[in-house]
Structure 1
Amino acid sequence: MRPYPFTAVVGMPDLRLALVLSAISPAIGGVLVRGEKGTAKSTMVRALAGLLPEVDVVEGCRFSCDPARPDPVCPDGPHTGAAATRRPARLVELPVGAAEDRVVGSLNLERALAEGVTDYQPGLLAAAHRGLLYVDEVNLLHDHLVDTLLDAAAMGRATVEREGVSVSHAARFVLIGTMNPEEGELRPQLLDRFGLTVEVASSRDPGQRAEVIRRRLAYEADPDGFAGRYAEEDAALAAEIQAAQKLLPSVELTDDALRQIAEVCASFDVDGMRADIVTARTAVAHAAWAGRTEVSTEDIRVAARLALPHRRRRNPFDAPGIDEEQLEQALRDAEPPEPDDDGPGSGSEAPSEAPPEGGDGGQTPTAGQQGGGEQRAGAGKPFKARLFRVAGVGEGERGRRSRAITESGRTIGVQPPSVREGKPHLVATLRSAAPHQRGRGRSGPGLVLRKGDLRYARREGNEGNLVLFCVDASGSMGARSRMREVKTAVLSLLLDAYQRRDKVGLVTFRAQGAELALPPTISVEAAAARLEALPTGGRTPLAEGLLEAARVLRVEELRDPRRRPLLVVVTDGRATSGPDAVRRSHAAAELLAGVTAVVMDCESGRMRLGLAAELAEHLGAEHVPLGEVAADSLTSAVKSRLGRAA
């Protein structure tokens, strides 16, 4: 089946332009496409490969070396006098569950030990050289894999280190990632490594939506015929991309244009210099795309809109974006003066608009003014939270919270191939094979190695967990003006979970019962949004909250048995819903036996009942007063105790 034509996709001009510019100049660093499911993200990426010009490669080279400039250290080289052939540019897709060896390639350890040869098996990075590497759901990849991809994209090379043997090959490709933000975000330092980012959303225009349906049904009914109707448009676009690639080296980036780029990037307070460099490369590519040989203000405007939105984030829960008015102001401020311009202070500035007297005149309600007897309090600025771990050693997904047996980390032992995990352990393999060499008739150098001799490293690292928050939103929490403090502490723990690659869920209880406000997800941003909008009021059905938490954990154990849970109960311990509410809450706590839990005690005032501490005892949980959730509070407490002991 022929792929869906690139020019047949309806709408999405920003995504179309970002992909084209990255094809013109791979040095930009690729594109990250963010958007809801069903918005043709993957369709456009797969269609882009058909627009790229064919590439000349050394015949038989597994690394697609350019015959005109072959890689001098290519594992398949040297290529002196080698024949050349031409093939289409490749689109290589990286599955979410791919292992590291599949991405970067691997060595045949058995041949290396037995024959003394370096038998390197290329990975996906080698296959994508001089083409496109597409990662769907890039936010679901392990961090170390994403970092490997981005490093290779930035350096143009991939290096494989295995037991003291090093293999390096060229790996220059256009990296394109797509993701649905509802399923979790990329960490900021990884997000910054993508050159451009584009937000896509489905159109709300009925006419445009109808056209999308019409074209999709026509394509499914006759893929070849449908693609043929757009073949001429695709061919024309491909020719324009090729012409822009040829013009690219001739485009001049003047000092005035550089100053504008620097002014724009500085005005958005971006970190480091990558934003400036990417913006410059994108502006040059856009000028070539427009057929110009000098970068203009319009090129810089387009480049900034694509290169800066994901680099100005300061809070991981803030959506990326760019202020168009701020961009226009920065461009105006950095424009070179005209010959007859008297410069600033000539009286040409427009007077600033002052707000009308009496404030904004609006009727925006403040926290606590919503109707229905409910109160809503916003969270304050998050702080660095204490680290809470799950007891024992798990085997979950790689993360940064609790101890676990993982594919990376410190080696704590070896294991035979029947339970293969991790990377081969060279010394243990040699020790396993050495006693059998005489019986295997070895003569001369080398080692007679059998598959059963292989031993694999058993490594201990850290895993990500399921952090389930069970939050008391009853009237006793809001009436004492504590909800802002509570939300700030929970938000800080959410930020900690974000950094440690945890899944999070949110159970709330108030009035007559409990509800699952957010099913377990890796989208910590969604949890923060639900927390911010959480109302308070009514009685305190503590037992129902614990029962709902126990139900959620049972379901998640069936769905993801390797991910161990950490339960965080946020309450003052008062149970005021129904008869014998305290006894029922203690009985509900028994259903959570064996679950690592933390009780965040929100009780305040002089007369304290200590009910949260009793709940922690029934849960077998750590009891933490609300004021001691911050990491620096623990440090201060330890120093204070040490001072008293001295």
Structure 2
Amino acid sequence: MTPYPFPAVVGLADLRLALLLTAVSPAVGGVLVRGEKGTAKSTVVRALAALLPSVAVVRGCRFACDPAEPDPLCPDGPHSSGSPALDRPATLVELPVGATEDRVVGTLDIQRALADGVKAYEPGLLAAAHRGVLYVDEVNLLPDHLVDLLLDAAAMGRAHVERDGVSVKHAARFLLVGTMNPEEGEPRPQLVDRFGLVVNVTAPREAGERAEVVRRRLAYEASPDEFAARFAADERELAARIVAARDLLPSVVLPDSELDRIALISLAYGVDGMRADIVVARCAVALAAWHGRKRVTADDVRAAARLALPHRRRKDPLDPPGSDEQKLEDALAEADAQHGPDDDDPDDGGAGPSGGDGGPDGGPDHSGPRGRGSAAPTDGGNPGSPAPDGTTSTAPQDPTPPTSSTDISDKSDSGGEAEAEARGGAAAVAPGAAYRTKTLSIARRGEGGHAGRRSPSLSRRGRVIGSRVPRGKLTGAPHLPATLRAALHRAHTTDLGGVGSEPGTAGRGAGYGLVRPADLREAVHVGRESNLVLFVVDASGSMAARKRMTVVKTAVLSLLRDAYQRRDRIGMITFRGHTAEQVLPPTSSHEVGVLRLAALRTGGRTPLAEGLKRAAATIATERRRDPRRRPLLIVVTDGRATSGPDPVQVAPALAGVSTVVVDCESGPIRLGLASRLATALNADIMPLEGLGTGRTMGRVA
């Protein structure tokens, strides 16, 4: 089917400009598109491929080597400088979220390796994307092991394959484009940092634009070829402009004065590392080339900064995206105040290929990425920046949580509950500074759950502990020694005419050196999985009366950060008055969890049983949706139940669910109700003030 034409896209000026700039200069580093569902993110990205110039490749090379500069390490090489060349369109390779590691980096051809005795390497998607576009839809849902592969390839421009007895290196320089819906959670900060530009998109907010979007879409679906022909001239003009900008790019001058401006903006904005300065400089040069100028101006730097900086500043991985847009505007103003007005000679620039400083569709757009139909770039969702040791840098943390001696009162709560219930709930209190918590994990080994960093499980990666017969089609890496042993054993018994021999093959040596599908054995790996971490939080009046909600919120915030770092899904249930409420359905968006926690109000009685019932129903629903993800229930309460039935009666509904009870009871006289609840739930119990102390692993059965 004919792809939707790029010039036919309505609005989304920021996104179109960012994609065109990376097409002009792939060194900018790719684009991450963040936006709500139904905003044509994928449509625009796929339409970009038609605008890219064709590439010359060595004829017959599966790795798209450039005939002018062939890769000396190409597995299909060596290629001479005079190798036959072939012009072909630039490729757009889509990396599906469910792709296997073998499909991404390539793998050994197992049948040829075992049957013919040769190491035959089959290239993967990284090789196919070389000198083209690698598009990852829903990049925030990409498994960690695939993210690692992309990070390595994006950093080195080369894929390095070491697996199954094969050692291969090949060039893998591609334009990385990813799209995501922030409602489904954020990608790893290391991956976000590899994207040069981040653009936030929204649906048009004007009725006329929305109607035009629908009108064009219906016309395209009615006759794709006819619709594409209407925009063919505009598409050829954009493609020619990209070529002209690429030719002009090497001669564009970036003055020292603008380099100073870039440094001042980065310092004022507070970004980490030097990648931000480099990306802004490259983007500004590409923007000048796109407008047909040979000298970068202050407007180019400001426009580049708005595209390249917002996603690089977040210090805490749980800060809400978009919170620093005003900070960026202040940084731009501060840099202008320190640097002074633009001193560039206005006559240095020339008219662009379209006859002026046009936008991505040839219209006026020199003011930078602020076109209609697209929100201004805000925080791109980078949950922190990678620290030198590879961990995620976060805001300064206390090594231990606040203690009850300073934050927890031991006054009676009966009056406080009644007063809070009469008021309809106390005002929300803010949590304190988060701290590092003990690691809570499920002790039982999972059966191939989702890759993560919390509980032990069988997985496709990790330490090999044995082999097994595949359950149907081979889904993991083959275990070569076990496969050979199975093939030799089968061939030996067949040759001797023993049990299991095939009719007519006894005594003929049939089967030696030939591996059959039934002989394949799959490697069994032990790694770590992510879990569904479900918080059940007591928000009753007793928490407000004892002034414990700040301490409880701080503890839950710390556990939320731990869940983020371990790639868990999270959910939150609160109970107060006479009911329990699911304030956060299970999700991967930890930022939403922080916002819901901050807004949590307290008051009323303590319907603990209702909270447990709601937790059991939520877990049952999630098990039907995703049977492989195991739940970890964390109940934050003092064990009091002043409303509803005895919570012990509800405990059987949570049988088999790994649970931790965080005991919030304080004061010199303790009733031990949380311990009673933990016994009924067969759960571990942990005092609130001990959640962040020590290095001992907290484990549940």
In the superposition, the TM-score normalised over structure 1's length comes to: 0.88
Aligned residues of 2:438 and 2:695 also touching (Cα < 8 A)? no
The answer as to 2:421 corresponding to 1:416 is no
CA contact (8 A) 1:546 1:585 kept: yes
For the Cα contact (< 8 Å) 1:297–1:331, is it kept in 2? no
Residue 468 (structure 1) aligns with: 534
- Counterpart of 2:174 in structure 1 is 173
CA shift for structure 1 position 331: 3.9
What secondary structure does 2:229 align onto?
A: helix
Name the CA distance, whole Å, in 1 between partners of 2:622 and 2:115. Answer: 46
Q: CA deviation at 1:590?
A: 2.0
Residue 23 of structure 1 deviates from its aligned partner by 0.7
2:147 matched to 1:146? yes
Mapping of residues 165-564 of structure 1, within 5 Å:
165-318=166-319, 319-320=321-322, 321-322=324-325, 323-335=328-340, 372-394=424-446, 395-418=448-471, 420-434=474-488, 439=495, 447-564=513-630
Instruction: Check conservation: 2:437, 2:559, Cα contact below 8 A.
Output: yes
Counterpart-to-counterpart distance in 1, 2:338 and 2:287: 22
Distance in 1 (alpha carbons) for counterparts of 2:99 and 2:149: 13
Alpha-carbon displacement from aligned partner over 1:49-83 (angstroms, at most 9, x marks no partner): 11111112222222222222222222222333432
Shift of 1:288: 1.0
Residue number in structure 1 paired with 2:413: none
CA distance in 2, matches of 1:401, 1:566: 10
> Does 1 or 2 have the higher relative contact order (CA < 8 Å, sep 6+)?
2
- For residue 634 of structure 2, give the secondary structure of its aligned residue in structure 1: strand
Alignment match, 1:345: none
Give the corresponding residue for 1:357: none
1:598 Cα deviation after fit: 0.7
Aligned to 1:103: 104
Retained in 2: the 8 A contact 1:397–1:562? yes
Which of residues 651, 667, 672 in structure 2 aligns to 1:605? 667
Aligned to 2:71: 71
Inter-partner Cα distance in structure 2 for 1:98 and 1:118: 23
* 2:656 is aligned with 1:594: yes
User: What secondary structure is seen at the aligned counterpart in 2 of 1:375?
Assistant: coil
SS of 2:135's equivalent in the other structure is strand
Shift of 1:484: 1.3
1:51-90 aligned within 5 A? 51-80=51-80, 81-90=82-91
Q: Contact 1:415/1:455 (CA < 8 Å) preserved in 2?
A: yes
Helix, strand or coil at the partner of 1:60: coil
Cα deviation for residue 286 of structure 1 reads: 1.1
Shift in CA distance, 94/338, structure 1 to aligned 2, threshold 3 Å = closer
Q: Deviations over 1:434-477 (max 9, x none)?
A: 5577759999xx95544444333211000000101111111111
* Equivalent-residue separation in structure 2 for 1:144 and 1:636 (angstroms): 27
What CA deviation, in whole Å up to 9, does each residue of 1:123-153 have, x standing for no partner?
A: 1111111111110000001122122123213
Partner of 1:39: 39
Report the equivalent of 2:502.
none
What runs of 5+ residues in structure 1 fail to find an aligned partner? Answer: 340-367, 639-646
SS in 2 for 1:591: helix
Q: Which moved more, 1:47-56 or 1:75-84?
A: 75-84
Give the whole-Å Cα distance in 2 for the aligned partners of 1:47 and 1:21. 15
Separation in structure 2 between the aligned mates of residue 155 and residue 251 of structure 1, nearest angstrom? 26
State the shift of 1:310 in Å: 0.9
DSSP-derived class of the 2:612 partner: helix
SS at match of 1:33: strand
Q: Equivalent pairs: percent with the same residue?
A: 61
Maintained 8 Å contact 2:438/2:696: no
* C-alpha deviation, 1:41, in angstroms: 0.6
Q: SS at the partner of 2:571?
A: strand
Q: Which amino acid aligns with 2:658?
A: T
Q: Which secondary structure state, in structure 2, belongs to the residue aligned with residue 68 of structure 1? A: coil
Counterpart secondary structure, 1:609: coil
The one-letter amino acid of 1:237's match is L
2:30 paired residue number: 30
Q: Is the 8 A contact 2:425 2:601 kept in 1?
A: no
Residues 336-380 of structure 1 deviation map (CA, whole Å, 9 limit, x = unaligned): 8979xxxxxxxxxxxxxxxxxxxxxxxxxxxx9x97543211111
Q: Could you say if the C-alpha distance between residues 614 and 247 of structure 1 is closer, same or farther in structure 2, counting changes exceeding 3 Å?
A: same
Shift of the alpha carbon at 1:491? 0.9
AA partner of residue 19 (structure 1): L
Q: TM-score, normalised by structure 2?
A: 0.82
Conserved 8 A contact 1:252-1:293: yes
Cα pair distance change 1:557/1:112, threshold 3 Å: same
Q: How far apart, in 2, do the equivalents of 1:430 and 1:536 lie?
A: 64
CA distance 1:635–1:461, shift in 2 (3 Å): closer
Amino acid at match of 2:623: E
Letter paired with 1:424: P
Cα distance 1:216–1:469, how it changes in 2: closer, same or farther (>3 A)?
A: same
- Per-residue CA deviations over 1:215-253 (Å, capped at 9, x if unaligned) read 222222222222211111121111111111111111122
- For the 8 Å contact 1:22–1:29, the answer to whether it is kept is yes
Q: Is 1:28–1:281's contact at 8 Å kept on the other side of the alignment?
A: yes
- Residue of structure 1 aligned with 2:636, choices 570, 579, 591: 570
Q: What letter corresponds to residue 455 of structure 2 in structure 1?
A: S
For the residue of structure 1 that corresponds to 2:271, the secondary structure is: coil
Look up the SS of the partner of 1:74 in the other structure. Answer: coil
In structure 2, C-alpha distance between the alignment counterparts of 1:52 and 1:338, rounded to whole Å: 35
| Comparing 139-148 and 394-403, the one that deviates more | 139-148
Q: Deviations over 1:596-618 (max 9, x none)?
A: 10111112223322211111111
Which range moves more in the overlay, 198-207 or 17-26?
198-207
User: For 1:371 and 1:92, how far apart are their aligned partners in 2?
Assistant: 59
Residue in 2 aligned with 1:624?
686
In the alignment, the residues of structure 1 paired with residue 339 and residue 168 of structure 2 have an alpha-carbon distance, to the nearest angstrom, of 47
Give the counterpart letter for 1:313 in structure 2.
Answer: R
In 2, Cα distance between equivalents of 1:434 and 1:239: 61
Distance in 2, matches of 1:635 and 1:153, equals: 36
User: By how many angstroms is 1:637 displaced?
Assistant: 13
Worse-superposed segment, 512-521 or 426-435? 426-435
For residues 493-552 of structure 1, what are the alpha-carbon distances to aligned partners after superposition, in whole Å with 9 as ceiling and x for unaligned? 011111101111111111121122121111111222111111111111111111111111
Q: Which moved more, 1:232-241 or 1:460-469?
A: 232-241
Question: Tell me, what secondary structure is at the counterpart of 1:192?
Answer: helix
> What do the CA deviations read for 1:400-450 (whole angstroms, capped 9, x no partner)?
00000001111111223456453223333344445577759999xx95544
Alpha-carbon spacing, 1:113–1:331, altered in 2? closer, same or farther (3 Å): farther
Decide whether the 8 Å contact of 1:598 with 1:624 is kept in 2. yes
Query: Structure 1 residues 405-414 or 524-533, which shifts more?
Result: 524-533
Could you say what secondary structure the match of 1:168 adopts?
Answer: strand
CA distance in 2, matches of 1:384, 1:163: 39
The residue identity in structure 2 corresponding to 1:228 is: A
User: Which has the higher mean CA deviation after the structures are superposed, 43-52 or 326-335?
Assistant: 326-335
Aligned to 2:367: none
CA RMSD in angstroms comes to 2.4
Structure 1 counterpart of 2:656, one-letter code: G
Q: How far off its partner does 1:22 sit?
A: 0.7
- Give the superposition deviation at 1:278: 1.4
Counterpart Cα distance in 2 of 1:544 and 1:298: 58
**Contact 1:110/1:451 (8 A) holds in 2:** no
